[in-house]
Amino acid sequence: VTLGNRSLEAVAQYIKDGRAGRIVVMTGAGISTSAGIPDFRSPDTGLYANLARLNLPYAEAVFDISYFRKNPLPFYTLAQELYPGAYRPTITHSFIYLLHKKGLLLKLFTQNIDCLEREAGVPDDLILEAHGSFARQSCIDCKASFPADLMQKAIREKEVPKCLQKGCRGLVKPEIVFFGESLPQEFFVQQWLPEEADLCIVMGTSLSVAPFSGLPEKCREVTPRLLINSEQVGAMGSRADDVLLLEDCDSGVRKLAEACGWLEELESLWAE
Ligand code: OAD
């Protein structure tokens, strides 16, 4: 057993003792809900519960590559709302930046496509966007990349853009990973990094989509894992050094920061 007991205070003490110099953070949509972006699976407020207006055969079809081939319009209807730019990072995003500022962040694995981690200051090379992002776009057939300004226009006008390559005319989409598509190559290279971590923090994810959901299991048994989420998820809680903080991410990270003596610094980072 690595921690003295399974409490937030024990995790904070472990950090204060300098034993957590390589922290991996794993996040999902729940860290952005307080920014105003809905998550996917929360029963009333989640995106999947609110897609009736798009007449989908099933909610996840909006992010399914074979459905997109037949009917790309529902995705483009939603893309306008999901497009980064309109939202401000939460204090949870700032907390991840604070870990980096203190030299403790080994890697952030995120499923989010909202780019808020980057906006909070986490450097590019420490972020692994496992489900892609709106940063690039390409043809789903010939894979040719597509100009960013034309993509922005398409999203603004809810038009489905077509590939500009001669003789192709395939559908273009942002390089967000859809169901039926492979994760970025980088994920498969970096997925072993949790083995090198000395602390794992999982926040705001239902851990219901593979292979991302398997990342916490890649941590060694002796590595403490902290879950800050409104519900218990995955196998978090099954190990001797798992600590569960089942509450709102923002209030959870405030508690952790306070226990580490970082609260003031965190609040002022976030207010910047
Ligand atoms: P989900 O919507 O599946 O899970 C969000 C989790 O965060 C749930 O467990 C919520 O209870 C919790 N949650 C929500 N708001 C919270 C808050 N303020 N504080 C604490 N917990 C909160 O979202 P993800 O796990 O990110 O993929 O979903 C994974 C993937 O499924 C997404 O990347 C997306 C989706 O389909 C693709 O589209 C490929």
Question: Closest residue (by CA) to atom 39 of ligand 1?
Answer: 178
Q: Which of 131, 173, 239, 254 is catalytic?
A: 131
User: Considering the chain, what is the average pLDDT of its residues?
Assistant: 95
Res 190: pLDDT: 97
| Residue 217 Cα to chain centre, angstroms | 17
Judge contact between 107 and 128, C-beta under 8 A: yes
Pocket test for ligand 1, best of 33, 183, 206, 244 (most atoms within 8 A of CB): 206
Question: CA dist 12 to 237, 243, 261, Å?
Answer: 18, 11, 9
Q: How many CB atoms lie within 10 A of CB 199?
A: 25
User: Mean of the pLDDT values across residues 122-147?
Assistant: 95
User: Ligand 1 center to residue 137 CA distance, Å?
Assistant: 24
Integer-rounded Cα radius of gyration of the chain: 19
Residues contacting 147, CB < 8 A, separation 6+:
164
16-27 pLDDT, tens digit per residue, is 999 999 999 999
Q: What is the pLDDT of residue 4?
A: 87
Confidence band for 81, pLDDT divided at 50, 70 and 90: confident
Query: Is 100 part of the annotated catalytic residue set?
Result: no
pLDDT of residue 51: 87
Q: Which pTM value belongs to this model?
A: 0.96
Phi-psi region of 85 (alpha: psi -120 to 50; beta: other; left: phi over 0): left
173-188 per-position pLDDT tens digit? 999 999 999 999 999 9
Three-state SS string over 58-87 comes to CHHHHHEHHHHHHCCHHHHHHHHHHCCCCC
User: How far is Cα 12 from Cα 269, in angstroms, rounded to an integer?
Assistant: 20
Contact (Cβ atoms closer than 8 angstroms) between residue 239 and residue 221: yes
Specify the CATH architecture of the domain 47-85+134-176: 2-Layer Sandwich (3.30)
- In contact, 253 and 95? CB cutoff 8 Å: yes
Q: Domain coordinates of the chain in residue numbers?
A: 8-36+89-131+183-271, 47-85+134-176
100 touches 126 (CB < 8 A): yes
Over the stretch 24-61, which tens digit does the pLDDT of each residue have?
999 999 999 999 999 999 999 999 988 888 889 999 99
Dist. CA 38 → ligand 1 center (Å): 9
The rounded percent of the chain whose pLDDT value lies above 90 is: 89
Distance 250 CA to ligand 1 centre (A): 15
* 86 has pLDDT over 80: no
**Inter-CA distances, 87 with 11, 117, 120, 130, 148, Å:** 31, 12, 11, 20, 20
State the fold for domain 8-36+89-131+183-271. Answer: Rossmann fold (3.40.50)
Q: What span, in angstroms and rounded, lies between the C-alpha atoms of 261 and 259? A: 5
